[in-house]
Amino acid sequence: MKKALITTAFTLLLSLSLFAQTKPKGIFLHHTKVMDALNMTPEQRTKIIEIRKATDVKVITEDASLSEAEKKKAMTAMYRKRTKEQHEVLTEEQLKKLKQMQADAKKEN
């Protein structure tokens, strides 16, 4: 009886991993693979990283004076501003290639 119970429990635990969801893959400009794929210059890479570091998410998430809705709104605005600034660093060709990479990643998810 114990063996059957242990075997059943073990089987159930193993089966849980089969139903685990994988995190969707995104295309992020600060990742080295993306920078390489876009053939970014060292100056562009530095600017992208500086833009990313300049936007501090913790300031918004740890602000106790903001409600959850206000935090969400502030985060959305911050991300949009950061994305716009990052896109301004890229050439037209790079931006076009980035948009294609993002569309391809969306199809995979």
Burial of 38 (0-12, 13-18, 19+ CB in 10 A): buried
Q: What is the pLDDT of residues 53-92, one digit of tens each?
A: 887 788 888 888 989 999 999 999 999 999 999 999 999 9
Q: What is the pLDDT of residues 12-52, one digit of tens each?
A: 666 666 666 555 455 566 678 888 888 999 999 999 889 88
What was the pLDDT predicted at 60?
A: 85
Q: What is the pLDDT of residues 52-64, one digit of tens each?
A: 888 778 888 888 8
| Nearest CA-CA partner of 35 in 79, 85, 101 | 101
Separation of alpha carbons 76 and 24, rounded Å: 19
Domain ranges of the chain: 25-108
Task: Tell me how long the chain is.
Answer: 109
Q: For residue 71, what are its two tokens? A: 């935090």
- What CA–CA distances, in Å, run from 43 to 2, 21, 33, 79? 65, 38, 16, 22
Helix crossing, 68-89 with 42-54: angle to 10°? 170
